[in-house]
């Protein structure tokens, strides 16, 4: 049996984590996107300080947890941030919605936040960003603490084949602008249209990463280094690897599950980095196919296993990931919690399945909005 001191040592050896969540703001009456971010952020900052801020459109806000060392600390952070945003939204006459896309279309399109960098992005990418059904989508980004940028790149190399399974788990955007997209994660498909999006390439280390990114910026394809929208990337400001495949999740427990799996997986893969185990040489084309399949099916159907190139039930791919992460999670005393969270999610399905189940009752997207808003603040 693992002693308490051993568990404490293992917990500190696991990477600390942080989470960014993006939320839609919708009108309380008609449930359509509502450009009230300035008012919501102003109110929320009285409680949350700089852990909340605006996003590219005025009907979106973003929250950022502090770095935390365990899942219980993450739960406390996320609950405080969600409650703060939901309360501020209520005061501003709207609802905060943890959905990857807006189920109902905005009445007058989406208004760009008046910030110089966002204007540059809109100018560069045009209708991909500014069209009425543009890129106003909401994700959940998990930061994994690393020793340095070199370790971030090498960890990213090894994470590539595991990310489609995590994407399936977090799929939560079937409806967009009044229709069912046919996908579990329409957010992912919309985001994939941006020039800087896609699987991170296999790179030898930080020097090769920096050279490639500098050249992409120099080509004009990227507005700046922050518009590297690969599925995982070294953060430009903090010593973290940022994983960006997940929709924002309606239920806080799904975020905990996602973060717990990533944290345990990162510990296992960092051990391989330090032993200089080669990263799997999987082609970008196969990874794109796996991510497309995850966006379409979520947890309900089949995923493409990038390691074998075969279709398998999506839940089996998550089980494989859990098995890989389990030793590190067990040493940290978090395996039972992660298993419990996964058992519940496996039965209930991903967020997309819940949204569709709510819609099936009365054919009402307003009902979907209300249900997601309720779970966002739960």
Q: Could you read off the pLDDT of 305-340 as tens digits, one per residue?
A: 999 999 999 999 999 999 999 999 999 999 999 999
pLDDT beyond 90 at 376:
yes
By CB atoms closer than 10 A (0-12, 13-18, 19+), residue 204 is exposed
69: nearest Cα among 259, 327, 335:
259
- Note the pLDDT of residue 10: 41
- What percent of the chain shows pLDDT beyond 90? 92
Q: What share of the chain is helix, strand, coil (3-state, %, to 5)?
A: 50, 15, 30
pLDDT band per the 50, 70, 90 thresholds, residue 12: very low
Rounded Cα distance between 37 and 34, Å, is 8
Mean pLDDT over 176-191 rounds to 96
pLDDT beyond 60 at 113:
yes
Query: How big is the CA angle at 172 (ends 166 and 174), to the nearest 5 degrees?
Result: 125
**Domains delineated in the chain:** 4-376 (3.30.590.20)
Mean pLDDT over 217-223 rounds to 97
Contact 165, 110 (CB under 8 A): no
């Amino acid at each position: 049996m693992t002693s308490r001191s051993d568990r404490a040592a293992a917990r500190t050896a696991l990477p600390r984590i942080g989470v960014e969540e993006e939320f839609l703001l919708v009108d309380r009456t008609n449930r359509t996107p509502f450009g009230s971010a300035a008012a919501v952020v102003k109110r929320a900052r009285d409680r949350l300080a700089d852990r909340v801020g605006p996003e590219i459109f005025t009907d979106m806000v973003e929250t950022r947890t502090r770095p935390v060392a365990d899942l219980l600390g993450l739960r406390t952070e996320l609950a405080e941030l969600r409650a703060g945003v939901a309360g501020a939204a209520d005061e501003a006459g709207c609802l905060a919605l943890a959905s990857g896309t807006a189920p109902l279309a905005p009445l007058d399109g989406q208004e760009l936040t008046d910030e110089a960098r966002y204007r540059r992005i809109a100018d560069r990418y045009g209708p991909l960003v500014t069209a009425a059904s543009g890129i106003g989508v909401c994700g959940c980004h998990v930061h994994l603490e690393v020793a340095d940028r070199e370790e971030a790149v090498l960890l990213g190399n090894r994470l590539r084949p595991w990310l489609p399974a995590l994407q399936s788990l977090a799929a939560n955007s079937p409806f967009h602008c009044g229709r069912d997209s046919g996908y579990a994660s329409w957010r992912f498909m919309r985001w994939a249209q941006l020039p800087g999006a896609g699987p991170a390439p296999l790179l030898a280390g930080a020097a090769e990463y920096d050279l490639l990114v500098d050249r992409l910026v120099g080509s004009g394809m990227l507005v700046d280094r922050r518009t590297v929208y690969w599925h995982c990337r070294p953060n430009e400001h903090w010593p973290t690897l940022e994983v960006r495949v997940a929709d924002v999740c309606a239920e806080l427990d799904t975020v905990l599950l996602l973060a717990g799996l990533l944290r345990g997986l990162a510990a296992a893969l960092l051990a391989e980095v330090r032993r200089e185990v080669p990263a799997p040489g999987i082609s970008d084309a196969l990874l794109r196919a796996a991510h497309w399949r995850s966006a379409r099916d979520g947890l309900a159907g089949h995923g493409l296993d990038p390691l074998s190139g075969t279709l398998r039930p999506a839940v089996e791919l998550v089980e494989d990931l859990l098995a890989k992460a389990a030793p590190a999670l067990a040493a940290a005393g978090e395996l039972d919690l992660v298993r419990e969270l996964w058992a519940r999610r496996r039965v209930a399905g991903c967020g997309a399945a819940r949204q569709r189940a709510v819609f099936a009752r009365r054919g009402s997207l307003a009902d979907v909005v209300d249900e997601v808003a309720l779970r966002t603040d739960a």
